[in-house]
Structure 1
Amino acid sequence: MAKYQLVRPVLLSVDEVAARSGLHPDLVRRFAAMSLVDSTTDVIGRLRFTPKAVPALARVQRLRTGLALNYAAIGLVLDLLDRIEVLEAQVRSHRRWT
C-alpha cells in the first residue's frame, strides 16, 4: 500500500530551535554535529529540525547538568534510553495480547 504525504512536515531553522530551547545557535549546531539531536539539511545545506528537537535538546541539557556527563556519554545514554523505550513498548504490546 502506498503512503502519500498530505502536508509538508514542519521544519525549524537553527535559530528557531535555539530560541525555543533557550540555547545558543552554535550549541544547537554542535549537538547536531555530534548526533545528539536529529537534523536534516535543506537543498541549500542549512540545518533543519523537526519540532521534536526542542524536547530532545532539553533532555541533552538535563543529562549534561544533572548527571555531569560528557557529550560522548550523553550519546550513549540517549541510545540506551531509546532502546529501553522500545523494549517497554514491546512488553506493553505483548501484555495486551496475552
Structure 2
Amino acid sequence: MSTHPPKARAAARSAPVASVQYALVPARRLTLETVASRAGLHPELVRRFVALGLIEAERDAAGRLVFPEAAPATLARVERLRTGLCLNYASIGLVLDLLDRIGRLEAALRRGGARSDEPPWT
C-alpha cells in the first residue's frame, strides 16, 4: 500500500518522465559520403537537405559533416514524401514535424494506457 494520497499518486502517474542518456559509448556518426551512398542520393543534395533543416548534422573536429545513424532512413522518408506526394522541400519540413509530433502523441497515449479501436495511422 502506498503512503501517498490518491491525488499525489495520480499526479505522479501523469507526470512526464524525463529521458536521460549517458554517453558511455560515443554514438556512431556517419560521414556525408556514407549517408549519401546509403540513401542513393548525391552528396550535394544531402548538403542542401542539411541547409534546409530537413536532416540533422553536426561538424566534426575537421569541419566535415557527420550524421546520426538514422540519417539514411530520414532521407528516404524525405524522398518518399517528395516523390509520392509531390511536395516541395518547405512542405516536407512541415510534414516531417507534424509526423514526429503525431508519433510522440501516439506513444504518450500508449504509455498512458489509453486504448483506441483504430490502429495508428503513422
TM-score normalised according to structure 2 size: 0.73
Output the CA distance in 2 between the equivalents of 1:83 and 1:7. 28
Q: Is 1:76 aligned with 2:94?
A: yes
Structure with greater Cα Rg: 2
Provide the residue aligned with 2:59 in structure 1.
41
SS at match of 1:87: helix
Aligned residues: 95
Where do 4+ consecutive residues of structure 1 move more than 2 Å? none
Q: Among all aligned residue pairs of Structure 1 and Structure 2, give the percentage whose two residues are the same amino acid.
A: 56
- Larger RCO, structure (CA 8 Å, separation 6 or more): 1
Q: Larger helix proportion, structure 1 or 2?
A: 1
Output the CA distance in 2 between the equivalents of 1:34 and 1:83. 19
Determine which of 34, 39, 45 is the counterpart of 1:27. Answer: 45
Shift in Å, 1:3: 6.2
Which stretches in structure 1 are left out of the alignment for 5+ residues? none
Which stretches in structure 2 are left out of the alignment for 5+ residues? 1-19, 115-122
**Residues 82 and 4 (structure 1 numbering): CA distance in 2 closer, same or farther, change over 3 Å?**
closer
TM-score normalised according to structure 1 size: 0.91
Deviations 1:7-33 (A, max 9, x none): 121111110101111100000111111
Output the CA distance in 2 between the equivalents of 1:50 and 1:4. 16
Deviations 1:25-48 (A, max 9, x none): 000111111110111111222110
**Residues 55 and 46 (structure 1 numbering): CA distance in 2 closer, same or farther, change over 3 Å?**
same
